[in-house]
Amino acid sequence: MSGAGKEALRRLAGLGDAERARLVGSLSETSVTVLERAWALWAHGGQLPPPGDWRVWLLQAGRGFGKTRAGAAWVRAMARAVPEARIALVGATIEDARKVMVEGPSGIVAVTGAVDAVVWRPTSGEVRFGNGAVASIYSASAPEKLRGPEHHFAWADELAKWSAPTAWDNLTMGLRLGTWPRVLVTTTPRTTALMRQVRGAPGTVVTGGRTRDNEALPAAFVAAMEASYGGTRLGRQELDGELIEDVAGALWPRALLERQRVREVPELARVVVGVDPPAGVGGDACGIVAAGLGRDGQGYVLEDASVTGASPERWAQAVVACATRVSAERVVAEANQGGAMVEQVLRAAQAELPIRLVHATRGKAARAEPVAALYERGRVWHARAFPALEDELAGLVAGGGYEGPGRSPDRADACVWALTALMLDRQGEARVRAV
């Protein structure tokens, strides 16, 4: 396609729905066909197949991302590339396969019908293309139906909802026609054994995407969803397309973190900022977490202001800025990495509030256990979702060890220092009343 043609398509994509519909309605059938074939220009990047010799493309994305549209377009491309191809369309149920993958507004009939001669035969569950290719629908809840048929390609939708993992085994064992059998998996992620199996299998390429990546969605809808669920486990799964798993023996299971979340913070009696300084420059993050003690005796995590790869001057400024925002009464900073230096750097950044230096005599996980117990007893709450901090908390393991992101749980350690100063005595026992 010429440069002028590509620019015209981009302009068309930028029109409103009504204007675009009027323009497309005025075009000839040939022009509409040209537009439909230009999927690579209409699609956003996450909807296009990844390069390389993959066997399984796992498209793991949030709701509304455009997974179904990507799946239908890929099936159309495979049908064109291999005349007389046999393609499996597998949904969680036969109704899902029929109503979403084939008949839906982004399904194969809608995507392909205006361009290629396709015939949908509901009684036999087959989509027949003009060149002889055939796509047949199957249900993952009836895995035996996939035991015999052979296919060149397959599209598996909403894998995380499949009730019978053997459906995947039967499907992949039947992918043995042609020289390059492949399967596209489109799904919103959930932590299931089958998802872990497919993600970790040789030959699997994983791509992802978020709800907000689809610019065709109403902005008001996206904003409302992110306001309600942004940063929570549900939002990260359903909107951001993340696969979030619990670490065995985690001090902070994901369900606990979700439970201990509030929308409003009551009047606070005290506020401190916990700091876990980095050992050097440009390495680990400087953990900076603000927490408050409510007059109700409950603890509240207020802000995660941690910075990564910062110089001492920059992270000290971040500490002072955070303390100012939350009206903190003091900074509690770990001194193991050079207590005098930590205080000196903070003073140089005009930190006028008291600075308390604390020395770690136990490992991070051991220090965290009494604080985790406060969460379990319902005494600590998060004022909102803090994804990076919560990922680190969820990576701390009872008995020692860390299995979260990064080399060290700097944010989690800063949070522990702040809550320890507010709610625990020197022996790690919970204080009964607010001070």
CA 52/CA 39 separation, integer angstroms: 20
CB 239 within 8 A of CB 225: yes
What does DSSP assign to residue 295?
Answer: T
6-10, 40-44, 232-236 — which is least confidently predicted? 6-10
Looking at residues 285-295, what average pLDDT do you find? 96
The residues, ordered by sequence, that sit 6+ positions from 339 with a Cβ below 8 Å of its Cβ are: 357, 359
pLDDT at position 6, please?
Answer: 52
Q: What is the residue whose two structure tokens read 């991302």?
A: 65
pLDDT at position 260, please?
Answer: 96
CA 435/CA 328 separation, integer angstroms: 15
Strands 182-187 and 56-61, bridge-based pairing: parallel
Tell me: pLDDT of 50 over 70. yes
28-42, 233-247, 322-336, 373-387 — which is least confidently predicted? 28-42
Question: Pick from 296, 253, 298, 291: which is nearest to 274 by CA?
Answer: 291
CA 125/CA 147 separation, integer angstroms: 17
5-9, 156-160, 206-210, 236-240 — which is least confidently predicted? 5-9
Looking at residues 47-55, what average pLDDT do you find? 91
pLDDT at position 329, please?
Answer: 94
Beta strands in 216-276 (DSSP E): 268-276
CA 214/CA 210 separation, integer angstroms: 8
pLDDT at position 435, please?
Answer: 36
pLDDT at position 246, please?
Answer: 78
What does DSSP assign to residue 45?
Answer: G
pLDDT at position 433, please?
Answer: 43
Phi-psi region for residue 432, left (φ > 0), alpha (ψ -120 to 50) or beta?
A: alpha
pLDDT at position 426, please?
Answer: 55
Greater confidence (16 vs 174) lies with 174
CA 420/CA 430 separation, integer angstroms: 9
What does DSSP assign to residue 203?
Answer: T
Looking at residues 388-414, what average pLDDT do you find? 90
Model pLDDT for residues 303-312, shown as the tens digit of each residue: 999 999 888 8
pLDDT at position 27, please?
Answer: 67
Sign of CA dihedral 40, 46, 48, 53: positive
Tell me: pLDDT of 282 over 60. no
Specify the DSSP element, H or E, that contains 358.
strand 355-358
Percent of the chain exceeding pLDDT 90 equals: 54
pLDDT at position 1, please?
Answer: 46
Model pLDDT for residues 116-139, shown as the tens digit of each residue: 678 999 999 999 998 999 999 999
Tell me: pLDDT of 10 over 50. yes
Tell me: pLDDT of 201 over 70. yes
Looking at residues 402-413, what average pLDDT do you find? 90
Mean pLDDT of the chain: 86
- Name the band, by pLDDT with cuts 50, 70 and 90, for residue 278: confident
Retrieve residue 121's tokens. 């035969």
232-246, 307-321, 412-426 — which is least confidently predicted? 232-246
Helix (H, G, I), strand (E, B) or coil at 137: strand
Tell me: pLDDT of 8 over 90. no
Tell me: pLDDT of 341 over 90. no
The residues, ordered by sequence, that sit 6+ positions from 214 with a Cβ below 8 Å of its Cβ are: 44, 64, 65, 66
- For helices 166-173 and 193-200, give the axis angle rounded to 10 degrees: 30
pLDDT at position 337, please?
Answer: 61
- Name the band, by pLDDT with cuts 50, 70 and 90, for residue 405: confident
Percent of the chain exceeding pLDDT 70 equals: 85
The residues, ordered by sequence, that sit 6+ positions from 232 with a Cβ below 8 Å of its Cβ are: 258, 261, 385
pLDDT at position 59, please?
Answer: 95
Model pLDDT for residues 14-40, shown as the tens digit of each residue: 666 567 567 666 766 666 655 655 666
Tell me: pLDDT of 400 over 90. no
Tell me: pLDDT of 113 over 70. no
What does DSSP assign to residue 53?
Answer: S
Q: Which of 212-216, 279-283, 284-288, 409-413 tops mean pLDDT?
A: 409-413
Looking at residues 62-91, what average pLDDT do you find? 94
Looking at residues 203-230, what average pLDDT do you find? 87
Question: Pick from 277, 39, 220, 68: which is nearest to 157 by CA?
Answer: 68
94-108, 157-171, 352-366 — which is least confidently predicted? 352-366
CA 272/CA 291 separation, integer angstroms: 6
pLDDT at position 36, please?
Answer: 58
